[in-house]
Structure 1
C-alpha cells in the first residue's frame, strides 16, 4: 500500500541492532542503509571494507538501493564508489541543515552528485 502511494521503505542502520537479514525477506524494502559504524574504518580495517562491500553487493543483488551512512572523508567516498555504492550521506557532503538551507544547496548544486 505504501508503494502505491509513492512511498518506499528503508532498512536503516543495517548491520547493527535489530536490522536482521531475516527482515529483508519479511518486508518490501526499497533501500538498505549501511550503518556509519561500518563506514568509519573502511580505509584502515580490511574486514570492515569487506563487510561493507558484501552489504552493497547483497543489497544490489536484491534490487535495493544501497546508501552508505556517515561518509566523512574523500577516501571513504572513493572506496565506496569503487565498490559500486550508488548513494551516500555524511559530513563530506554537508552537515545537517534546515530545509530552507537544503533547498538552497540543491539550487546552487553544491552537493556532490
Structure 2
C-alpha cells in the first residue's frame, strides 16, 4: 500500500497522476493519509481510484460522546463505505477508542494501543516469535 496526503492530490501534476496509475496497474493499493485535516476534495477519491481513507489521529484523540469529532469520524466511515472504500483510524491509544471505532464500523486501526512503531528487523523478530510466522 502507498499512502499519499490530501495536499499531494491537490497539487497533483501529470507526473504524480502517472505514478499513481502505475502503482494501481502494479496492484498497489492507495490510501489517503490524514484524511480530514487538509483541503479535502471528494472528487479526488473518484479521480484517483483510492482504496483506503485514513482518519487523522487528531479526530481519534478527541473522541467523546456527542463530540463533533465523534460525528465527523462516523460520517467519514459511512461515506467511505458507501463509496466502497476501507477506513483506517490512526492514533488509537485506548480501549475505549478501539471499542467506539468497532461499533462505528471502522475497518482497521493503528496506534500505540496495538504496538509502537518499529523498524523492519524488529517486526520480523516479533513475527518470528508469533504464530503468524
Q: TM-score, normalised by structure 1?
A: 0.86
Aligned twin of 2:24 = 3
Aligned twin of 1:79 = 100
Output one character per residue of 1:33-60: Cα deviation in whole Å (capped at 9) or x when no partner.
0111111111356211111011011111
Q: 1:22 aligns with which of 43, 66, 82?
A: 43
In structure 2, C-alpha distance between the alignment counterparts of 1:80 and 1:107, rounded to whole Å: 29
Q: 1:40 aligns with which of 31, 45, 61?
A: 61
Q: Which has the larger radius of gyration?
A: 2
Q: TM-score, normalised by structure 2?
A: 0.74
Change over 3 Å in CA distance of 1:85–1:108 after alignment to 2: farther
Aligned pairs, number: 110
In structure 2, C-alpha distance between the alignment counterparts of 1:108 and 1:53, rounded to whole Å: 36
SS at match of 2:100: helix
In structure 1, C-alpha distance between the alignment counterparts of 2:28 and 2:74, rounded to whole Å: 27
In structure 2, C-alpha distance between the alignment counterparts of 1:32 and 1:8, rounded to whole Å: 11
Q: 2:125 aligns with which of 68, 88, 104?
A: 104
- Structure 2 gaps, min length 5: 1-21
In structure 1, C-alpha distance between the alignment counterparts of 2:100 and 2:130, rounded to whole Å: 23
SS at match of 1:18: coil
Q: CA RMSD in A?
A: 1.8
